[in-house]
Amino acid sequence: MRKLSQKGATLIIFAVVISLLVLGFIFNNLNGKQLEAIKKDKTAKALFDAKSALLGWSVMRETSDPPSTAKPGQFPCPEDTSLIGTPNEGSSLSSCNSALPVVGRLPWRSLGLGDIRDGNGDKLWYVLSPGFRNTPINSNTLGQLTVNGNANAAVAIIFSSGFALSGQNRSTLAVSNYLDLTNNDGDTSFVTMGAMGAFNDVSILVTQAELFQLIERRILREVRGDSTQGLVRYYSSQGANNFPFADTDNDGIVNLAELVGSPSYEGMNNTDPDNLFFNTRIKSILVNNNWMPLINYQISADRQVVTMTTLNGETLTVP
């Protein structure tokens, strides 16, 4: 039995050695173009994964925050570089100047990513537009980053910095040692191309349209609600089982017999508990970020069907 066991272990070791030799042969026979293609693919995947994580973080931003800071559409600050080398490396700064474009390393830990890197094995960089830190944030909030001369082209940009160019010293985290040309000068203008030898940044954009397409869907679902809040709760709490009329003057209170306007958030008045049908967290999101006036609300004459449409054409029918 022992001899059979030893023989099996020997075969396993032999198979591992052969596999390593084969992998080594394949690697040694890859030409430069093939290796470069592998690096590009890894970089592209890292940028895509980072963008997906940013969008997800932004759309669901408020779930664990106090109501006063509820901001779907908010983006994180860049990485807090003072935490490099600690167990919290990759966490975002707690605050950053929201009036200027903010440039820094991607806060991978705060986004729920692993230690994400590009095809060169380097960390990713990140630029955030003004307007996406403080309320109100809604479909009228424009990305203020100009890209290749196109104004309002992006809410955020994620960069792979490529290998160090002449004059760049990667031993320090100054942005000029990583990003190239106008990407490192601190203004709102960025480029995705440049002369060989002077530029090798690779980037992916987060646009205003794709961000708010996701957020608008989320907002409509919150207005619809469920048994605990929203239109669904209002319907079930009313003896007549109907939805509220529209709000036509954006004061949060319904206007009787009005079938077209905006959703209300106080119902018939702002003192009757049965009509306060949004919970504190959701009401904060909707009111503090001025979402209600941006939603077209239409109710059927029998008050049994509501159709809501956003600025960008997202539609939800209740029930």
258-281: per-residue pLDDT in tens? Answer: 999 999 988 776 665 556 688 888
Whether residue 262 is contained in a domain is answered as yes
Q: Are residues 75 and 138 in the same domain?
A: yes
Q: Are residues 309 and 161 in the same domain?
A: no
- For 205-228, give one letter per residue: b (16+ CB within 10 A) or e: bbbbeebbbbbbbbbbebbbbeee
> Based on the structure, what is the number of domains in the chain?
2
Whether 6 shows a pLDDT value over 70: the answer reads: no
Mean model confidence pLDDT for the chain = 88
Domain boundary among 206, 222, 249: 206
In one-letter notation, the amino acid at residue 310 is: T
Distance CA 58, CA 215 (A): 8
Q: Are residues 79 and 139 in the same domain?
A: yes
Q: Encode pLDDT of 36-55 as tens digits.
A: 888 899 999 999 999 999 99
Q: Are residues 230 and 301 in the same domain?
A: yes
Question: Does residue 283 sit in helix, strand or coil?
Answer: helix
Whether 19 shows a pLDDT value over 90: the answer reads: no
Total-model pTM: 0.84
Q: Are residues 68 and 175 in the same domain?
A: yes
Q: Are residues 44 and 192 in the same domain?
A: yes
Q: Are residues 103 and 134 in the same domain?
A: yes
Q: How do 145-147 and 189-190 pair as beta strands? A: parallel
Distance CA 16, CA 23 (A): 11
Question: Does residue 279 sit in helix, strand or coil?
Answer: coil
Q: State the CB neighbour count (10 A cutoff) for residue 248.
A: 15
pLDDT score, position 65: 53
Q: Are residues 239 and 191 in the same domain?
A: no
* Token pair for 72: 């779907």
- In the chain, where do the E strands start and end? 102-105, 124-128, 145-147, 150-154, 156-160, 189-190, 202-206, 260-261, 296-299, 306-309, 315-318
Residue 127 belongs to what domain range?
32-206
Q: Are residues 197 and 289 in the same domain?
A: no
Whether residue 10 is contained in a domain is answered as no
Whether residue 158 is contained in a domain is answered as yes
Q: Encode pLDDT of 92-128 as tens digits.
A: 998 888 778 899 999 999 999 999 999 999 999 999 9
Domain boundary among 148, 183, 206: 206
Of residues 26 and 108, more confidence is placed in: 108
Of residues 6 and 246, more confidence is placed in: 246
Whether residue 11 is contained in a domain is answered as no
Whether residue 6 is contained in a domain is answered as no
As beta bridge partners, residue 154 has 145
Whether 9 shows a pLDDT value over 60: the answer reads: no
